[in-house]
Amino acid sequence: MDVQHPNRLMAEKSPYLLQHAANPVDWYPWGEEAFQKAEHENKPVFLSIGYSTCHWCHVMAHESFEDDEVAGMLNQHFVSIKVDREERPDVDSIYMSVCQALTGQGGWPLTVVMTPDKRPFFAGTYFPKTKKYGRIGLMELLERLNYEWQHNREKVESTGSQIVEAVAAQYRAKDGQGTFSKAFLTAAFESFLQQFDAEYGGFGDAPKFPTPHNLSFLLRYHRFTGNPEALEMVTRTIDTMREGGIWDHVGYGFARYSVDRRWLIPHFEKMLYDNALLGILYLEAYQVTGKQAYADTAEQIFTYVEREMADKAGGFYSALDADSEGEEGKFYAWDADEVRAVLSKTLDEATVALFCEYYNITDYGNFEGRNILHTIHRDDNDFCEDKGVTADELRRTLEKCRQLLFEVRERRVHPHKDDKILTGWNGLMIAALAKAGQVLGETKYVDRAVKAAEFILTEMRRQDGRLLARYRDGDAAILGYLDDYAFLSWGLIELYEAGFDERYLQEAVKLSSQMLELFRDPADGGLFLSGYDSEEVIARPKEVYDGALPSGNSVAAHNLFRLARLTNHAEFESAAEDCLSAFANQVKRYPSGFTHYLMALMYAVLPSREVVLVGQSANDNLNQMRRLVQSRFLPNTVWLVQHVDERSEKGRGDDELLAFLDDYQMVNHQAAAYVCEQFACQAPTTDIGILTEQLNFHVVEE
């Protein structure tokens, strides 16, 4: 790092803040020191929010924050603060809502100017140093804002006060408690149907984001209603995504989004949360369809994550940059001549030509003269027939070529890696790995989820049990947010249902109870983003929109329903319904924007089931029942296992949380399954065939 102009960010742990630690701008981290300085010197605060793998954040940094002229203006007339949005989602949420309200759009880098008491009076996103792209230059903007501050202070402060009140009102319940309804589900499905791109999958036009929870909702809608169009929307989308350039055909893993309708040209950064949620989606699609390619894709996602994003201690890193050597996508794109040269060293000309044709590699390229590998609308059967090869021969040939390119690519300059470990995003990856262990029957995935969970539970909690949000370089810090509690609890529930270690269910219950104490809004319902013990800012965000990530409120409600059914804790059921009611009027207006909320809603308005398996741990029949339950797609279903003592065949009863399981016994000394649906229990069975019938879904009316 160039330390020609070291500033206060040098002492920070955030990779994003450290990227700016050598700027000539006199940056402060978010904190009272900066605001006290602004108050003392009577200056406005220039707030810049971004994250370390953000392409346009890099551009603005290079154009402006590394520039002495811009730094001179900022240092003379403003107090400048840098915030990592991934460390401080509360600050980001508040000021992003300001930007969206003032400009109609948002994004990063986020640029906000405010009074010393945090009242914003200007907001925008990226600004070049001087006017271009139809945007005002930062230098001109700063001069105007400084003039307003010096000469129209009363107007500026009045504007700031009005904005603060508008933001605070936005987070208050605008419509009061509402009534949630099954009709939300059909309305969301119909909305997706109208937006669906039947040729390439996804919804709407470019840019296209994966948004896995939208597709997970549609899988559930298909399962409950039998509607084939819901499944078609999912399979068309995930097929084309896997064929497109948003999927890394050489090194695996999904990029954050596609800039075009076809999923061809990605925005190249790779996020932990995208790959976790997409891993879950492809596993669920495999459960529904039995298509092996979906299971393979999930496994390749986990191969990528373990190779590129795993910390030796157990956690997972946050993201990889889109840029390397200052150029977006340089690490991933290929010259046709380079591909031919690499492959022709060991392979014959016909094989090289086959590979290039299969992945659409051409001399003119598809990305700034270079090639992003893709197979969009490639039918493998037709390709094999045309080339006179079998599917297995094609698969082996492509894999041999991929390995050769991968080895060469590994020698390139790699993109920057954001190596901070976030509790919430790790919770999502724990959920994905635990789900993989269930669906694929592979204990290695459960073991990896356990390793990550143990790291978080050991290293990212205070002694009093309070979760912390970020770990890096041996330092765990920042009070955990709602998302941290909700996402980690999700992972722990999946981990329990993967291996039936009751400790993880206990931890999920503890975290969810603490979550309700820290974040619950007793007046208007729902859960705040930050806890009652967190820093006081101009507003307290409370969000339910399921955007690139599902919201903490949606995931929390879903968790609470599952925990209520797993543990018989009625207060969790009540809290989940309260969460649904708090946002029902908001969701009613645009249901398709709240798909994880809708998955929680399904627990309240559609049939649900509880399955208890009882038997000796080494019993083959018990293990067959476990595999049956874990491998099938069973939304709105929870399952528990009671391992009985081999000598007495009685429940162990050593865990108060699941003491009620003592009432479940083996039948005629054989492992048995107890299935309850809609508050009515069927007779226990020892027969796999009967259990299979009991687990079948009955179509409900759309």
| CATH code of the domain in which 501 resides | 1.50.10.10
Q: Do the Cβ atoms of 258 and 374 come closer than 8 Å? A: no
Please indicate, yes or no, whether residues 113 and 14 belong to a single structural domain of this protein. yes
Please indicate, yes or no, whether residues 483 and 613 belong to a single structural domain of this protein. no
Is residue 700 in a domain? Answer: no
* Confidence band of 183 (pLDDT split at 50, 70, 90): very high
Please indicate, yes or no, whether residues 285 and 304 belong to a single structural domain of this protein. yes
Task: Please give the sequence-ordered ranges of beta strands (E in DSSP) within 462-590, or none if there are none.
Answer: 468-472, 475-479
pLDDT in tens, 572-614: 999 999 999 999 999 999 999 999 999 999 999 999 999 999 9
Q: What is the CATH number of the domain that holds 29?
A: 3.40.30.10
In 3D, which of 107, 258, 213, 233 has the Cα closest to residue 544?
213
pLDDT in tens, 531-577: 999 988 888 899 999 999 999 999 999 999 999 999 999 999 999 99
Q: Tell me, what's the pLDDT at 246?
A: 98
Q: Do the Cβ atoms of 2 and 22 come closer than 8 Å? A: yes
In 3D, which of 682, 551, 641, 63 has the Cα closest to residue 326?
63
The two three-digit tokens of residue 313, written as one number: 């201690």
Mean local confidence (pLDDT), 398-407: 97
Q: Number of structural domains, the chain?
A: 4
Q: Is the pLDDT of residue 156 over 60?
A: yes
Q: Is the pLDDT of residue 398 over 70?
A: yes
Mean local confidence (pLDDT), 471-478: 95
The two three-digit tokens of residue 679, written as one number: 């508050």
* Confidence band of 2 (pLDDT split at 50, 70, 90): very low
In sign, the C-alpha dihedral spanning 453, 455, 460, 463 is positive
Q: Is the pLDDT of residue 475 over 80?
A: yes
In 3D, which of 543, 413, 449 has the Cα closest to residue 93?
543
In 3D, which of 224, 186, 181 has the Cα closest to residue 583?
181
pLDDT in tens, 325-340: 989 999 999 999 999 9
CA angle 685, 689, 690 (to 5 degrees): 40
* Confidence band of 4 (pLDDT split at 50, 70, 90): low
Please indicate, yes or no, whether residues 595 and 667 belong to a single structural domain of this protein. no
Please indicate, yes or no, whether residues 557 and 614 belong to a single structural domain of this protein. no
Q: Do the Cβ atoms of 37 and 73 come closer than 8 Å? A: no
Q: Can you list the pairs that 38-43 forms with residues at least 24 positions away whose Cβ atoms lie under 8 Å?
A: 38/79, 38/116, 39/116, 39/117, 41/79, 42/116, 43/77, 43/78, 43/79, 43/116, 43/149
Q: Do the Cβ atoms of 213 and 544 come closer than 8 Å? A: no
In sign, the C-alpha dihedral spanning 255, 257, 259, 265 is positive
Q: Tell me, what's the pLDDT at 24?
A: 95
Q: Tell me, what's the pLDDT at 510?
A: 97
The two three-digit tokens of residue 451, written as one number: 């390793």
Q: Tell me, what's the pLDDT at 681?
A: 87
CA distance 129 to 251: 36
Q: Is the pLDDT of residue 1 over 80?
A: no
Is residue 177 in a domain? Answer: no
Please report, rounded to a whole number, the percentage of residues in the chain having pLDDT higher than 70: 97
Q: What is the mean pLDDT of the chain?
A: 93
Q: Which of 97-101, 121-125, 131-135 has the lowest mean pLDDT?
A: 131-135
Please indicate, yes or no, whether residues 303 and 263 belong to a single structural domain of this protein. yes
Is residue 475 in a domain? Answer: yes
Q: Tell me, what's the pLDDT at 78?
A: 97
- Choose one of 394, 410, 426: the last residue of a domain: 410
Q: Is the pLDDT of residue 650 over 50?
A: no
Q: Tell me, what's the pLDDT at 536?
A: 83
Q: Is 482 exposed, middle or buried (0-12, 13-18, 19+ CB in 10 A)?
A: buried
Q: Tell me, what's the pLDDT at 580?
A: 97
Half-sphere exposure of 246 (CA within 13 A, CB side): 30
Please indicate, yes or no, whether residues 568 and 633 belong to a single structural domain of this protein. no
Q: Is the pLDDT of residue 253 over 90?
A: yes
Q: Is the pLDDT of residue 620 over 70?
A: yes
- Where is 424: in which H helix or E strand? helix 423-440
Is residue 557 in a domain? Answer: yes
Please indicate, yes or no, whether residues 343 and 452 belong to a single structural domain of this protein. no
Is residue 310 in a domain? Answer: yes
Q: In this predicted model, which residue has the larger pLDDT, 299 or 677?
A: 299
* Confidence band of 679 (pLDDT split at 50, 70, 90): confident
Q: Tell me, what's the pLDDT at 649?
A: 45
Mean local confidence (pLDDT), 162-177: 76
Q: Is 247 helix (H, G, I), strand (E, B) or coil?
A: strand
Please indicate, yes or no, whether residues 298 and 378 belong to a single structural domain of this protein. no
- Choose one of 563, 589, 605: the last residue of a domain: 605
The two three-digit tokens of residue 268, written as one number: 């190249």
Chain-centre distance for alpha carbon 99: 23
CA distance 685 to 242: 41
- Choose one of 555, 571, 605: the last residue of a domain: 605
Please indicate, yes or no, whether residues 285 and 359 belong to a single structural domain of this protein. no
CA distance 335 to 133: 29
Please indicate, yes or no, whether residues 450 and 568 belong to a single structural domain of this protein. yes
Q: Tell me, what's the pLDDT at 645?
A: 64
Mean local confidence (pLDDT), 132-142: 90
Q: Tell me, what's the pLDDT at 294?
A: 98
Mean local confidence (pLDDT), 119-141: 92
Chain-centre distance for alpha carbon 618: 37
* Confidence band of 173 (pLDDT split at 50, 70, 90): low
Domain span at residue 259? 182-326+417-605
In sign, the C-alpha dihedral spanning 421, 449, 251, 203 is negative
Q: Do the Cβ atoms of 164 and 119 come closer than 8 Å? A: yes
Q: Do the Cβ atoms of 697 and 645 come closer than 8 Å? A: no
Is residue 371 in a domain? Answer: yes
Q: Is the pLDDT of residue 175 over 80?
A: no
Q: Which of 99-103, 430-434, 525-529, 647-651 has the lowest mean pLDDT?
A: 647-651
Q: Tell me, what's the pLDDT at 654?
A: 46
| 680 Cβ contact partners less than 8 Å away, ≥ 6 residues apart | none
Is residue 223 in a domain? Answer: yes
Please indicate, yes or no, whether residues 298 and 354 belong to a single structural domain of this protein. no
Is residue 389 in a domain? Answer: yes
pLDDT in tens, 199-244: 999 999 999 999 999 999 999 999 999 999 999 999 999 999 999 9
Q: Is the pLDDT of residue 653 over 80?
A: no
The two three-digit tokens of residue 681, written as one number: 């229990």
